[in-house]
Amino acid sequence: MLKNKATIKDVAELAGVSIKTVSRVTNREGSVKPDTLERVNQAIEQLNYQPNTAARNLAGRKSYALGYVYDNPNAYYVLDMQNGILAECRDRGYELVIHPCSATNKGIIDELATMVKRSQLAGLIISPPLSEMPDVLTGLDKLNIPYIRVISGSEVQVNSSPCVYINDRDAAFEITEHLIEQGHTKIAFLRGDECHRSSHERKIGYLQALEKHGIQSDHRYQIDGSYSFEFGVSGAKQLLQLEDPPTSIFSCNDEIAAGALFAVRLEGLDVPSQISIAGFEDSPFSRQTWPKLTTAAQPTNVIARKATASFIQYLSSRKDDDPHNDLVPHLQFKPELVLRESTLNQARNENVN
Amino acid sequence: MLKNKATIKDVAELAGVSIKTVSRVTNREGSVKPDTLERVNQAIEQLNYQPNTAARNLAGRKSYALGYVYDNPNAYYVLDMQNGILAECRDRGYELVIHPCSATNKGIIDELATMVKRSQLAGLIISPPLSEMPDVLTGLDKLNIPYIRVISGSEVQVNSSPCVYINDRDAAFEITEHLIEQGHTKIAFLRGDECHRSSHERKIGYLQALEKHGIQSDHRYQIDGSYSFEFGVSGAKQLLQLEDPPTSIFSCNDEIAAGALFAVRLEGLDVPSQISIAGFEDSPFSRQTWPKLTTAAQPTNVIARKATASFIQYLSSRKDDDPHNDLVPHLQFKPELVLRESTLNQARNENVN
DNA sequence: TAACTAGGTGACAGCGTTGTCATTTGTGTG
DNA sequence: CACACAAATGACAACGCTGTCACCTAGTTA
């Protein structure tokens, strides 16, 4: 296929040194006299030598590959994460190994361990819901596999592993407050999957906003479900059948909101004049409805990139014998409120695009 | 937990064979007696053995890594492809390097060449629209980089590179014929992106069905656009404004169909009793509408998997000095008609789930 | 002067797998 | 029964690199 590349031997021969010395140079180990260094570098340049990664990995030492582990049904989210991670990896000369898996799989830890070993991964990047499962994390800790995780959380947990916190709680608080400011007091909440921490965080934010504004929390308005269009439809239907239905629905994500919107419009209600609907995530769903959805934007791509950058930094600086250094990265992001027509009475816009 | 991973030696010992025989099994080289094979496979399973990629790459002249190259806005499609490829790669002990890129980028060939070299890839898997761009293909041919591509096409092009053909044409024919059987004669067609061959193939199928049944093709009913929800909305609106609007709309994919469905229902029309709508692809969109969409299912995951399997087989069997052997894989798939409520007058179902 | 240091350097043994080629086993033939 | 020939299997040397450890200088100390 491609040209046979120069090996370390060729370089050594040309520079008149042993292969070990060449290795010292390429790995910046030091202990090389300046003029030897010069000669070797010249030979490397002349032959356009690039160390063979396979041989390098085989022979031992660290690897230049990360793994991205996910179990998330949301294709948009996963691809956004993946693209962000990939962008940073390319920049830093790292490889990325993708690993979709099933969180319910009992042998998940073995599976991950095998993969890490096989591909000689330097560490793992883990997104929800896997990143929020204690068993998985302690399993990895036990095996001493480094990882950074993205989770839903409003506060940094000190002394824990590298982590990126998405402050869903405060963002949900803001969305709810926005609805209250629009004059709503009967605000329903459609919650996503039990196993996603974001479901709970967003609900907490919702409840806190109600409390702050002295609105009684009403259990009939709070329905638990899953992050799906279908639940949005059924949840909204259930709400509308109440003798005193809500005037607004805050859905735990855009997919649910799209379902709710669909169901509500089928009942002949106008959005937002008769009922307001808000989502969360700023996924394509939120723009592919009419009216477009008010939501909270989490720039997943950017988050993934920054997380990856921090993680790489962390990996190369950390000492194996000193796990408790102060360089453990803890990033925080808060999704931004995005106001659109689905909750804005005054700003109705008939244009779908 | 198995900190020390099993090597080929351990497997060989447990199975009572030489390491070479184990290698034969893991690489499906053949020349292994059934009962030996059985024993080795059992040992592999028992030890949870996974070949070390670094060692393989080093030892063999070939590499055990593939690249997946895509430039496709459809997250569901990309992820389906990716998961399928990945599943097969895992089975075969191959690594996968993901490479999202921009088809409009002028230096795309250089970009791919660099990546192939850096990651020592054995070959590339390419999906539309990149797989349908002649410049890209000839560029890769020139560099002698092996690839398999997935394209929309109804006929095998002999003497070309490995290829997977998705017979969109015949499937579109069937969908159109189904609409005709339902009594429709005013059938509109909303076409997707110009640069996707599938747009054209599906339209050809549509036209052929009209012709076969003696229905005059009407240009006012045929609108070109893009694979997006927005186009579905605007396209449908445009159709409904005709003084003689169509009684059914065949959309080039589910996203367009979902948009069309949305627009049509906003106009107060009932689906399917007043107007029928069909999509294509069987994406989640097709199930997240009400009524659910009639569509054509292309099992992307399976297709990706089989394509990968053939490609690996091809790569390991092919001789560098004999590029024109008869083993060049040419797979064909035809999307299956999926009948749902959006086109079935008799079978209306109020249940959204 | 001998002994001791430390900075440079090289010889060599793996790392886990595949390729090559030799060897063993089985099968059909005269 | 011996013989040829194919199928199945194994022994062993790569593959390109790093880790270990021994060695060789000079320069320093007592």
Give the nucleotide with minimal C1' distance to the Cα of B21: D9
The model's pLDDT over A63-109, given as tens digits with 9 standing for 90+, comes to 778 999 999 888 999 999 999 999 988 877 688 999 999 988 888 99
How far apart are alpha carbons A98 and B98 in whole angstroms?
8
Residue of A2, A75, A353 lying closest to B230 (CB–CB): A353
Examine the pLDDT at A346 and tell me if it is beyond 70.
no
What is the token pair recorded at A224?
């638990």
Residue A291 preceded by cis peptide, ω within 30 = yes
Per CB-CB distance under 8 Å, the chain A contacts of B79 are 75, 78-79
How far apart are alpha carbons A54 and A31 in whole angstroms?
25
Mutate one of B79, B105, B143, B286 to test the A interface: name it (highest A CB count within 10 A).
Answer: B79
Which of B:51-70 have CB within 8 Å of A? 51-58, 63
What is the token pair recorded at A157?
């947990």
Higher pLDDT, B325 or B130: B130
Residue A6, chain B, CB below 8 Å: the answer is no
Residue B349, chain A, CB below 8 Å: the answer is no
Residue B320, chain A, CB below 8 Å: the answer is yes
The model's pLDDT over B88-137, given as tens digits with 9 standing for 90+, comes to 998 888 889 999 999 888 889 988 887 887 677 889 999 999 999 999 99
| Angle (deg, nearest 10), helices B108-118 and B134-142 | 40
How close B169 comes to chain A (CA, Å)?
Answer: 27
How far apart are alpha carbons A242 and A84 in whole angstroms?
44
The model's pLDDT over A151-165, given as tens digits with 9 standing for 90+, comes to 999 998 877 789 999
Q: pTM, whole model, 2 decimals?
A: 0.84
Examine the pLDDT at B320 and tell me if it is beyond 70.
no
Query: In this predicted structure, what is the pLDDT of residue A351?
Result: 39
How close A42 comes to chain B (CA, Å)?
Answer: 21
How far apart are alpha carbons B50 and A105 in whole angstroms?
19
What is the token pair recorded at A322?
């000193």
What is the token pair recorded at A275?
């009922």
Average pLDDT estimate for B298-316: 92
Average pLDDT estimate for A142-153: 92
Instruction: Report the residue count for chain B.
Output: 353
Write the class of the CATH domain B65-167+300-336: alpha beta
Average pLDDT estimate for B279-303: 91
Examine the pLDDT at A322 and tell me if it is beyond 50.
no
Q: From residue B86, how far is each of B50, B305, B317 by CA, in Å? A: 15, 8, 21
Task: Please say whether the beta carbons of B314 and B162 come within 8 A.
Answer: yes
Residue B288, chain A, CB below 8 Å: the answer is yes
Q: In this structure, are strands B65-70 and A336-338 parallel, antiparallel, or unpaired?
A: unpaired
Domain(s) of CATH 3.40.50.2300: residues in chain B: 65-167+300-336, 168-297+337-351
Residue position matching structure tokens 């229902």: B265
In 3D space, the residue among A117, A210, A121, A88 whose CA is nearest the CA of residue B2 turns out to be: A117
Residue of A1, A86, A110 lying closest to B1 (CB–CB): A110
Q: Which phi-psi region, left, alpha or beta, contains residue A5 (left: φ > 0; alpha: ψ -120 to 50)?
A: beta
Per CB-CB distance under 8 Å, the chain B contacts of A300 are none
Average pLDDT estimate for A259-275: 91
Query: In this predicted structure, what is the pLDDT of residue A6?
Result: 84
Give the nucleotide with minimal C1' distance to the Cα of B19: D10
Q: Which residues neighbour B210 within 8 Å (Cβ) at sequence distance 6 or greater?
A: B176, B180, B187, B216, B217
In 3D space, the residue among A335, A288, A329, A314 whose CA is nearest the CA of residue A122 turns out to be: A314
Nearest CA in chain B to A270: B266
| Strand D nucleotides within 7 Å of a protein CB | 7-20
In 3D space, the residue among B197, B345, B175, B341 whose CA is nearest the CA of residue B249 turns out to be: B175
Residue A299 preceded by cis peptide, ω within 30 = no
Mean pLDDT of chain B: 89
How far apart are alpha carbons A71 and A3 in whole angstroms?
40
Helix (H) or strand (E) holding B46: helix B34-47
Q: How far is the CA of B4 from the C1' of D17 (A)?
A: 22
Query: In this predicted structure, what is the pLDDT of residue A165?
Result: 97
The model's pLDDT over B144-190, given as tens digits with 9 standing for 90+, comes to 889 999 999 999 987 778 999 999 999 999 999 999 999 999 999 99
Residue B319: pLDDT band (50, 70, 90) is low
CA closest to C26 C1', residue = B33
Residue of A79, A119, A284 lying closest to B95 (CB–CB): A119
Domain(s) of CATH 1.10.260.40: residues in chain A: 8-51
Query: In this predicted structure, what is the pLDDT of residue B186?
Result: 97
The model's pLDDT over A23-53, given as tens digits with 9 standing for 90+, comes to 999 888 888 999 999 999 999 988 878 788 8
CATH number of B168-297+337-351: 3.40.50.2300
Residue A254: pLDDT band (50, 70, 90) is very high
Mean pLDDT of chain A: 89
Residue B318: pLDDT band (50, 70, 90) is low
Examine the pLDDT at A353 and tell me if it is beyond 60.
no
How close A96 comes to chain B (CA, Å)?
Answer: 7
How far apart are alpha carbons A171 and A177 in whole angstroms?
10
Instruction: Report the residue count for chain A.
Output: 353
CA distance from start to end of chain B: 43
Strand partners, B125: B68, B148
Quick check: helix, strand or coil at residue A308?
helix
Per CB-CB distance under 8 Å, the chain B contacts of A289 are 262
Task: Please say whether the beta carbons of A315 and A191 come within 8 A.
Answer: no
Residue position matching structure tokens 């089989």: B306
The fold adopted by the segment(s) B8-51 is: 434 Repressor (Amino-terminal Domain) (1.10.260)
Query: Cα A150 to chain center, whole Å?
Result: 5
Q: How far is the CA of A19 from the C1' of C2 (A)?
A: 35
Q: How far is the CA of A23 from the C1' of C11 (A)?
A: 14
Residue A278: pLDDT band (50, 70, 90) is very high
Residue A326: pLDDT band (50, 70, 90) is low
Query: In this predicted structure, what is the pLDDT of residue B269?
Result: 93
Examine the pLDDT at B223 and tell me if it is beyond 90.
yes
Q: Which residues neighbour A73 within 8 Å (Cβ) at sequence distance 6 or greater?
A: A227
